[in-house]
Amino acid sequence: MVQRQLPKPAEVFELMKFRKIEPNLKKRRLQAALTIEDLRRIAKRRTPAAAFDYTDGGAEGEISMARAVQAFEDVEFHPAILHDVSRVDTSTQVLGGSSALPFGIAPTGFTRLMQTEGEVAGAGAAARAGIPFTLSTLGTTSIEDVKAANPHGRNWFQLYVMRQREISFGLAERAARAGYDTLFFTVDAPVAGARLRDTRNGFSIPPQLGLRTFSNAALRPWWWWDFLTTAKLEFASLSETGGTVGELLDSAMDPSIDFDDLAEIRAMWPGKFAVKGVQTLEDAKKLADVGVDAIVLSNHGGRQLDRAPVPFLLLPEVARELGSDVEIIVDTGIRNGADIVASLALGAKFTLIGRAYLYGLMAGGREGVDRAIAILAEQVVRTMKLLQVGNVEELGPSHVTQLSRFHRQDQERAHSVGR
């Protein structure tokens, strides 16, 4: 029989310990966010539909985007045992410099549309975390202002080659003068992808106040207050600012770029040189042969060609063939620090986060970006400790299996014919 007794008041009061309530609403909602998906839900509540969908959406049926996220979920980890992981080193060397974490911030266009602090918030958060920040050609903060927000950290510049080549060359020269150490030449956007959410929302730069957008925005007055009381939303590096996203891209991008353009831009850039948007092993080999410093396996976050290859699934093949010849960076679909660890294990030197950072920006400005980076960093450390590896160099293919939801039947047939 269980012996019962009346509880003593002092013992009851010991159990009744209430958490201190955070009076700052922004801090409270960000502290409650434990995952990137939590930040996404906050961002959706706080951002007008057109701006949120521009960030959240992909091309056409959004199949590439969904597959990229699913591929990371379809990972099986293989932890070791009895290794000392009381301390874990997440730092790495990439493109001639250091990063405190094995991920950096990817280039994103129209960033101040999501939240008015835009690239300044991203660059400042990257500086605090000791990771690189990448500014887009279609950024809404100037090359020089981003440098001022991250004066002692690593800044990278993403370049589109436009029909007016002198504009592209001038941007590269400005970035070099400002001390950016790496150029990301993007090659997967000869024309704009069909981003149907944007079309349905009537999304344009700058935003237009139609009846639908006005009614949606009326529920989020803080966003419009920020938008209307800060500097005009426009491209910081380009003079063309009016029209839909597709119209702007199609008018600016040059579909005729080729390897001669690659050579010309490489010759004029004094720092490290990476090519972003690589989606086949054959193209990766060509780029390694011409001596680029890094390739970025990317399908533009699923925003260009729908049903394009999933970068994470392409990674092991490229790493086996070229891992000793060129640095391999991966983006698209990363929502968790475990995704970053899995990429490193399968041969990536580094990873880039795009939407994950923007969800934080929309959820809480600069503090939201800090929170997004902190969430991913905590997940990276925890995953490494549970795998029982002490630093990123110890990660290898033995730690990860990619489960086979997506078969590449062309390769299967080729292998069987080869036998």
Distance CA 343, CA 71 (A): 11
Would residue 78 show up in a list of annotated catalytic residues for this protein?
A: no
Taking every pair of C-alpha atoms in the chain, what is the biggest distance, in angstroms? Answer: 88
Q: Which of 78, 152, 300, 407 is catalytic?
A: 300
Which residue in 66, 137, 143, 77 sits closest to 107, CA to CA? 137
Distance CA 193, CA 303 (A): 6
288: three-class secondary structure by DSSP: helix
CA angle 394, 395, 401 (to 5 degrees): 150
Q: In 10 A of CB 359, how many CB atoms? A: 31
Q: Which two tokens stand for residue 54?
A: 């521009």
152: three-class secondary structure by DSSP: coil
Contacts of 388 (CB under 8 A, 6+ apart): 79, 80, 81, 82, 83, 85
Instruction: Tell how far CA 214 is from the center of its chain.
Output: 30
Catalytic sites, residue numbers: 300
